[in-house]
Structure 1
């Protein structure tokens, strides 16, 4: 049945494939959130510092981002369903290894393995949606896929937090093993996507992509601890006193440019590429990617700053923090789910521009209303608005990018989405941390100079250039041997004011970035395709690659189109145009 017939008759595709997609996304996302929530239990059980848990989380994220472009091609080469099933099974085994971990090394290896196989899973999820759903149903399916990530976050906050305080943190990952078994069994009811046995994998491109992502990820992650420019004592090395962080970022950008040059060269030579640049063939598609990257940057940065505010400024516990941000996470879920209902009434550029205005307004509201009490109505309202705008934009940009690409490139779209998601997220957290800490240092120095009761000796003893967010109790313990009485009280007061102001300025900075995102948002398409095009169309700047074009999946689709059976094909076999 064609997409046109579906629209006319109202008959819809079964939601079973979507159930598998959503449950698998929850399986992949829950694990990372559960590690964060379970940090205290893990550090106690494995007798390891919290930094080692953070290293394990980072290892999984980097592995996923580094190999996701390769994962898309592996799925195309050997068949998306088969590769997906193997990856889900391996991910379940990795979760079992996490649950049974007896050392930090075992935890690290298990989490890195799970990240690597998610690089195989993520592109397959997009392929399943592209091959099973069409038109408005496809829009809702993509919205639910986007909503699965915040849904996994809510489940992790509730279930993992509850398990960690009752029966133990290991049961969170045992639960993911059970979910992996369910997803594996359900996947056998998915229809097969034809493999492309003649597809050659561009290994050089895969290596360049992995190297660029790893350099950028480590570089941005090291900004706050190794130094934005000058190296700190925590830096593993320095070059003429310069921090390795900016050097790694520059190296990553250079390798990234080499990667895209390599892809263009392979395209001109008619050879297979690890990533098909036709996903980004037009200015509107590049604008969609820019909107996606900015929203994920802003969203992850805010998601870091908000818990920082709750735990450090307010001094709340981890479980209290988890429940405090549930309204924000739930609003992301709801917006991701229901934004598809707006596709028929408003253009993508209108929805995206409005969404960024809502996000900027929410962040501004938070910046001017945050105080010491989380129950304040304006703060909760700001969080809900932030979640609504963020969820709508993330679902919209993914949906619009996928609907603009031929079905044959669905795996590349899914891989690109995963790469942008992880890289923008890690960069958002790193830059937000460096900016907030930098603002804190400046405000601490200014505040100390405005309080004569704080001596110059105390200012000299405390290195304000390496300031960090501390609670009042932590600062009192740090200064116990250096200050007493009025001087200690003044130092605590200055710290309380400086950290609150630093967080406010950071939120306003994110609000300004959200407003700047309106520029690429206005370049998004004026309308959204209701159906994926069946054929790869040439682009003047990136000519069709005959090797990739004439693959078995494309030939099969054209054969179906000739008989009027392909999704989006018309009864007489002509191509459906948006």
Structure 2
């Protein structure tokens, strides 16, 4: 039991950090009501949380190298606890965004890369595969159990208690942090690359901001774009600026390496093909998962009118199957190679999302929906059981923290893009469907069509149909035409949800092409004949200068 005490602490932290997003997703309707805001505003807050983590995770991993992994883990938990406390008492949406999205996000950016390095440093061989399977399973459980836990608390008490409870959990983790063996940083890492950190934050933030705002500004044709450039909306220019910043980051990192100075992270790590494949598939996995978990609660709460707890109950099959499947990592590693398992996982995700497309409608088929969600959990569990272990096993001990930062950056960037991109597709499809339905509806007069079309063009929100009826009544639309408009909007909602899920299925299908560089043989179990076998030294060339030697990628820990 003592051997697994570090995993208990690390697993609790992993569960805690990923719990928030799923709690927020299932509480969208209540948050909209409590803060007198819109679904789009809550979407922005959810996206900002994962974006802050994605933007600062690489910097967080470097700080862990500078001050020590366990210390960074502890400091991150303290910051996270402060953010949770502020979130629990937030009086306005802006305070909620500050406490949850920013402060908790910064805390998570310190916790997660240190966590990845600490798992890799405290376990080796088969135990490491088990540990990463457990961590992946708890991450999935946090995402999936969150709706049930958050739904019950939100419905019968208040969502604020979830965050107050997180403060208590943080204190318990800090009280047991000494159970974790520290992992000393290796290599002369004595400075923080501030220019690299700034470029990574700016680049990632602008890309996600552009995608997030596309539903408001328009992708190319301007709608509510604050400015227009050459007649186009601001969206493509914001995204392009972010990509330019990321291109400059690559050039800057190579420049730092050539000078023999310590970069934010070593770009040469991307030359390790299994690692590159693991990072890209991690991004895709989280894009799909968070996209679906943003879409489905909207369907259950806004379209069908379920409360948060009823929503959480209907998401429970994902929690069960994802946890059970991801915990099967040791067995899977004995019988199949990671590439086989991951490809099966993405195939299952395609099937599950298509099943969900067929299952949703004006009325819910509970049995079909529950089975589809269970299948979704199996697909996610297959991925969670493999990708973290592949990423960490692709490098030697010296690079674990750096790779941990890249690993969680990929995951949270995927989460940000999932909420932003799938959400933007959803709102765009809603606007298009409403416009098309309005134009084809003979029960609506031309004058009302023009009035409604202008309102849709100005910006449409995903709201309950009853709210649409109330708005139409306030606008003095004749009852018969108001009923026709409400019915058109309801149809457009269901079609928009289906389009969003089809987009997630398309991402899962495309992701099969990202798996080609994943290992085609089973992950090697480390020999038990000493630490040198468990953690191979970095391969160096005697003639190479020291400044170049420390920047070469560590050899993979795979057969």
Q: TM-score, normalised by structure 2?
A: 0.88
Distance 1:213 1:499 in 2: 31
Of 337, 348, 354 in structure 2, the residue corresponding to residue 364 of structure 1 is 354
- State the aligned residue count: 542
Which ranges in structure 1 are unaligned for 5 or more consecutive residues? 1-11, 555-567, 569-574
**1:4 corresponds to which residue?**
none
Match of 1:530 among 525, 548, 556: 525
Aligned equivalent of 2:86, options 88, 97, 106: 97
- In the other structure, the counterpart of 2:219 is 228
> In 1, distance between residues paired with 2:349 and 2:544?
39
Deviation at 1:326, TM superposition (A): 1.8
Give secondary structure in 1 for the equivalent of 2:139: helix
Contact 2:208 2:420 in 1 (8 A): no
* Equivalent residue in structure 2 for 1:110, among 99, 115, 120: 99
Q: Are 2:473 and 1:471 aligned?
A: no
- With over 3 angstroms needed to count, the CA separation of the structure-2 counterparts of 1:545 and 1:294, relative to structure 1, is farther
Deviation at 1:419, TM superposition (A): 1.0
Residues 1:150 and 2:140 are matched in the alignment: yes
Cα distance change on mapping 1:376 and 1:460 into 2, 3 Å: same
Deviation at 1:350, TM superposition (A): 0.9
1:235-314 alignment to 2 at 5 Å? Answer: 235-314=225-304
Whole-Å separation in 1 of the counterparts to 2:50 and 2:493:
29
**1:449-506, Cα deviation, whole Å (9 max, x unpaired):** 4332222222211134444434331222233335435433333333333322232233
Confirm or deny that 1:403 pairs with 2:393: yes
**Are residue 322 (structure 1) and residue 312 (structure 2) matched?**
yes
Distance 1:68-1:549 versus aligned 2 partners, 3 A rule: farther
Deviations 1:306-360 (Å, cap 9, x if unpaired)? 1122223323223322222121233222222223420111111111111111111
Distance 1:106 1:437 in 2: 26
Pairing 1:63-462 to 2, within 5 Å after superposition: 63-111=52-100, 112-195=102-185, 198-199=188-189, 200-233=191-224, 235-462=225-452
Q: Work out which of the residue numbers 481, 488, 507 in structure 1 matches 2:482.
A: 488
State which drifts further: 49-58 or 254-263: 49-58
Secondary structure of the residue that 2:176 maps to in structure 1?
Answer: helix
Match of 2:530 in 1: none
**1:60 and 2:49 equivalent?**
yes
2:119–2:132 contact (8 Å) kept in structure 1 = yes
SS in 2 for 1:61: helix
Superposition deviation, residue 197 in structure 1: 8.8
Q: Any conservation in 2 of the 1:143–1:395 contact (CA below 8 Å)?
A: yes
Measured in 1, the distance between the counterparts of 2:106 and 2:136 equals 20
Q: Distance in 2 between matches of 1:295 and 1:406?
A: 25
Deviates more, 1:512-521 or 1:381-390: 512-521
1:246-279 deviation line (CA, Å, top 9, x unaligned): 2211111111111112222322333211112343
Deviations 1:409-450 (A, max 9, x none): 111121112111111111122221222233333333333343
Q: 1:538 to 1:81 in 2, by over 3 A?
A: same
- Whole-Å Cα distance in 2 between the matches of residues 576 and 317 of structure 1? 48
Partner of 1:3: none
Could you tell me which residue of structure 2 aligns to residue 498 of structure 1? 492
Quickly say closer, same or farther: Cα 1:83–1:50, change in 2 above 3 A: same
SS for the counterpart of 1:188 is: helix
SS for the counterpart of 2:232 is: coil
1:462 aligned counterpart, secondary structure: helix
Structure-2 separation of matches of 1:149 and 1:29: 6
CA spacing shift, 1:544–1:244, aligned 2, 3 Å: farther
Alpha-carbon distance in 2 for matches of 1:191, 1:506: 44
Q: Is the 1:402–1:413 Cα contact (8 Å) retained in structure 2? A: yes
Question: Take 2:480 and 2:510, find their aligned partners in 1: how far apart are those partners?
Answer: 45
Residue 77 (structure 1) shift: 1.4
RMSD: 3.1
> In the alignment, is the contact (CA less than 8 A) between 1:220 and 1:426 conserved in 2?
no
Question: Is contact 1:77-1:196 (8 Å) kept?
Answer: no
Alignment match of 1:25 (pick from 14, 20, 33): 14
Q: Structure 2: 5+ residue runs without aligned partners?
A: 527-533
Inter-partner Cα distance in structure 2 for 1:446 and 1:429: 25
| Structure-1 separation of matches of 2:461 and 2:493 | 9
Change over 3 Å in CA distance of 1:341–1:374 after alignment to 2: farther
Q: CA deviation at 1:71?
A: 1.0
- Comparing 155-164 with 320-329, greater Cα deviation is found at 155-164
